[in-house]
Structure 1
Amino acid sequence: MRGIYVFSDLSLHERLQKALAELNLQQPTEVQQQAIPKALDGRDLLISAETGSGKTAAYLLPSLHRFLATDAPKSGTRGLVLLPTRELARQVFKQFKQLSAFTHLQAGLITGGDDFKYQRSIFRKNPELIIATPGRMLEHIKRNSCDLSDLEVLVLDEADRMLDLGFAEDVLAIAENCRAERQTLLLSATLKTKGLMQVVDRVLRDPEELILSGARDQHGNICQQIVLADDRTHKERLLYRLLEKEQYNKVIVFTNTKAQAERLGGAIRYRRHRAGVLQGDMTQDERNKVMDWMRRGNINILVATDVAARGLDISGVDLVINFDMARSGDEHVHRVGRTGRAGESGLAVSLISASEWNLMASIERYLRLQFERRVVPGLEGKYKGPAKLKSSGKAAGIGKRTKGRGDKRRGESEAGAKKPKQRLRDQKSIGKRRKPSGNKPAGDQAGSGALGDGLAPFTKRR
């Protein structure tokens, strides 16, 4: 951190200071130290910081201070926070409740999966802050459920993830319906996402950049290991052994498919572990129930797809297991970021089959680190890695055939005539044909119409 401060040095409203004291939060994180003063000045900000760094409070606190400092009883919605997933929106809503506990400020939660008519009633109550996912928020805008003409602050949290999920057009459409004279804060774990800078150019006005850490620089307090596996069955045996022998408080197991998550969740529960599943086909109530179980400690193992890899803040997760390797370096960073939060140490173990080696190597190269190789005693596999490696760390493929064999054929062709092609039809038996006799009678040679010339009629023998 660049300096040692306490929240009382940040000139926040006294009611917010009281809430921070109640939460026993005294020292701001680095992103809060740098972002809050600039946000209080009304600047548009482009913030890149790691997950678990306190980004949510970095934009909530200055927004709430603004609403408290300037009373606007007759205005519409004053702040809008857009987030990529329902789980992350619920977390931000919960943190808003904590920070605004001693104020009159109200917030509304607008996400997919909830009753549309009930959400319209939330807009009619005119809360100061709306916390929403882009799809459902745009639907309300199209149906004239809300009025954003008085909006003072627009926050795009986890903007890179929103673009990955295909929300770019929705975000731009929502921004066009907001008041032009507003403050916009965009937060992202990485600024390398395709299309992100186009959104920045269209939504923000002369933003100040706060690049505190990129995806490659994150998670220095997390030990990252790989275990080689022969196939899926071997992976399952390795997973069960890790869950039995490793010391952990809570663990998240990541898979790439919903079907795989459901199957593994059932298999883990069958082995008498307290496990739950989180995947995209679940209803909102089911997802909420699983997350509550995990936070309360009713379960300590969560099998999840990448729907849970962004933004989820579950305290006490000290182990992450990638049953399937993440499909990109950024996704790997966000999965691993579920552990080692707020400076705590963590462990991430990835199970790697032969088909995933090159993907693992590309992620190593992207992160500029080398994963620690680990062997689980008693479950050593036959696969030991590629026989040959390229300079990039990927497996070297089989080389092209040498020219020796072809050269030999060409030499034979030049030395003699080309051998005729042998056909099966040429080898078929066509039967024996009678050879014509060499000694013919004189009459035959004269054309006297003797038998055999094919012209004279038969004559009766005397």
Structure 2
Amino acid sequence: MFSQFALHERLLKAVAALNFEEPTPVQAAAIPLALQGRDLRVTAKTGSGKTAAFVLPVLNRLVDLKQKRVEIRALVLLPTRELAQQTLKEIERFAQFTFIKAGMITGGEDFKEQAAMLRKVPDILVGTPGRMLEQLNAGNLKLEHVQVVVLDEADRMLDMGFSEDVERLCGECPNREQTLLFSATTGGAGLRDMIGKVLKDPEHLMLNTVSQLNDGTRQQIITADHNQHKEQIVQWLLANETYQKAIIFTNTRVMADRIYGHLVAKDVKAFVLHGDKDQKDRKLAIERLKQGGAKVLVATDVAARGLDVDGLDLVINFDMPRSGDEYVHRIGRTGRAGNEGLAVSLICHGDWNLMSSIERYLKQSFERRVIKEVKGTYSGPKKVKASGKAAGVKKKKTDKKGDKKVVAKRKPTAKPKPNAPLASADGLAPLKRRKPAPAAE
């Protein structure tokens, strides 16, 4: 029960109103330590309740502040607009019985309107690093009194090139008392470097190993001959697979638009989401998917983080993601909160090695699936077994002890003929045979 945590009564009232009963494992592990003021580095799978695990401690820190609202007290940094919007909604839900106000600044929104919002000084500021730095450089953002900084999806922010921006913003919060870093993957050397720079003696909580991050999702691969064949497989899956909502991931905006166009031509209710779309279109795409106005979303990795849609139970990787962490986040859009999901990756000749490396990273073996109605000719790399003669392997003899040893073949020595001439020592001319001396008389 959430009542076991030392949370303010107004927050417990909000938790009850939202029908939160039992805390998830990440919430049970992180909330008590965060309430103690510890710096945390938390790894837990998508859909595990990470947002509430940092929102509730942050609100608890601010709920009894007696000062007039003149400074920003908490900063939450995230990689994408969609994740920022979702986090803002969660903060507002849990703060509904308090006087705490939150604001958001991200790219794609009017800069002057955001500056006007900042003059009202929200208690909690949520946003993406790039736009926050723009407002900071313009003199509209003051962070001297920030008490707590939250870095959500920190590994993704590094992948997007926000490392220096994040470190700069953390440096602009010299009086912060706590830093919380959350992620769905373990990240690499870059993330470890960031942890060393911005966290102080952190508590490391790993709720899931990499191989457990999506244990509620069936993971399949289907081989394809080329992109046109992949499109046929996608259309078959959408027509025959049982699902409520689906998302199709591509690596490029051009391919996302192409697939979207083909689906619309087939009368499939779909939307497309990628970086070239303005904020209005991106909001519309997500809202239509959530409300059921569309069953299918075609997207680049801009939708791989923070997109939480009820009933999203099918993910199709039209293009294989470029890293194991990105794969984890993509398929993490399904199989959330204990529900089951299906993730299908389409593999051409050029995708096989990348797919195999992701299998090794996850320490898993994906289920191979064949659809006879759209079966192609490619089924994976051919295994060539060389015979002993073809490979030039010499047979080895084995002695009685079982040790192998190579026995060199000797050429038979030719016996000289009785009257054959003998070769000289220098091999230049044959020597004449001498007749034996006559016996002495």
- Equivalent residue for 1:376? 371
CA contact 2:148–2:176 (8 Å) conserved in 1: no
Deviation at 1:366, TM superposition (A): 1.0
Instruction: Give the counterpart of 2:301 among 281, 300, 306.
Output: 306
The 2-side partners of 1:179 and 1:78 are apart by 12
Instruction: Give the counterpart of 1:271 among 266, 274, 287.
Output: 266
1:204 aligns with 2:199: yes
Deviation at 1:402, TM superposition (A): 8.1
Q: Secondary structure at the match of 2:374?
A: coil
1:60 aligns with 2:63: no
Distance 1:181 1:276, change over 3 A: closer
- Equivalent residue for 1:14? 9
- Equivalent residue for 1:174? 169
CA contact 2:149–2:176 (8 Å) conserved in 1: no
The 1-side partners of 2:120 and 2:60 are apart by 21
Unaligned runs of 5+ in 1: 1-5, 391-395, 404-462
The 2-side partners of 1:385 and 1:70 are apart by 62
The 2-side partners of 1:311 and 1:178 are apart by 25
The 1-side partners of 2:69 and 2:335 are apart by 44
Residue type at the aligned position of 1:134: P
- Equivalent residue for 1:294? 289
The 1-side partners of 2:174 and 2:322 are apart by 38
- Equivalent residue for 1:40? 35
Instruction: Give the counterpart of 2:335 among 328, 335, 340.
Output: 340
Distance 1:299 1:212, change over 3 A: same
The 1-side partners of 2:228 and 2:189 are apart by 36
1:114 aligns with 2:109: yes
Q: Secondary structure at the match of 1:341?
A: coil
Residue type at the aligned position of 1:166: G
Q: Secondary structure at the match of 1:321?
A: strand
Segments of 4+ moved more than 6 angstroms? 400-403
CA contact 2:186–2:210 (8 Å) conserved in 1: no
The 1-side partners of 2:141 and 2:377 are apart by 61
What's the TM-score, normalizing by structure 2? 0.86
Deviation at 1:210, TM superposition (A): 0.8
Distance 1:71 1:402, change over 3 A: farther
Deviation at 1:388, TM superposition (A): 1.5
Distance 1:298 1:329, change over 3 A: same
Distance 1:74 1:336, change over 3 A: closer
Deviation at 1:365, TM superposition (A): 1.1
Unaligned runs of 5+ in 2: 394-441
Distance 1:401 1:279, change over 3 A: farther
- Equivalent residue for 1:100? 95
Instruction: Give the counterpart of 1:129 among 96, 102, 124.
Output: 124
**Pair member with larger Rg:** 1
1:258 aligns with 2:253: yes
1:221 aligns with 2:216: yes
Instruction: Give the counterpart of 2:349 among 323, 338, 354.
Output: 354
Q: Secondary structure at the match of 2:372?
A: coil
Instruction: Give the counterpart of 1:324 among 315, 319, 324.
Output: 319
Aligned residues: 390
Residue type at the aligned position of 1:264: I
- Equivalent residue for 1:444? none
The 2-side partners of 1:21 and 1:264 are apart by 43
Instruction: Give the counterpart of 2:187 among 180, 184, 192.
Output: 192
1:248 aligns with 2:240: no
CA contact 1:189–1:214 (8 Å) conserved in 2: no
Q: Secondary structure at the match of 2:342?
A: strand
1:263-310 deviation per Cα after TM superposition (whole angstroms, max 9, x unaligned):
101111111111000011111111011111111110010001111111
1:233-261 deviation per Cα after TM superposition (whole angstroms, max 9, x unaligned):
11111110000000000000011110000
Residue type at the aligned position of 2:218: C
Deviation at 1:139, TM superposition (A): 1.1
CA contact 1:162–1:168 (8 Å) conserved in 2: yes
Deviation at 1:329, TM superposition (A): 1.0
The 2-side partners of 1:156 and 1:276 are apart by 30
The 1-side partners of 2:364 and 2:158 are apart by 27
Residue type at the aligned position of 2:258: R
- Equivalent residue for 1:82? 77
1:398-422 deviation per Cα after TM superposition (whole angstroms, max 9, x unaligned):
xx9989xxxxxxxxxxxxxxxxxxx
**Percent identity (aligned):** 52
1:297-329 deviation per Cα after TM superposition (whole angstroms, max 9, x unaligned):
100100011111112111111010111111111
1:377-403 deviation per Cα after TM superposition (whole angstroms, max 9, x unaligned):
22111112111289xxxxx9xxx9989
The 2-side partners of 1:355 and 1:19 are apart by 51
The 2-side partners of 1:61 and 1:116 are apart by 29
CA contact 1:75–1:150 (8 Å) conserved in 2: no
What's the TM-score, normalizing by structure 1? 0.82
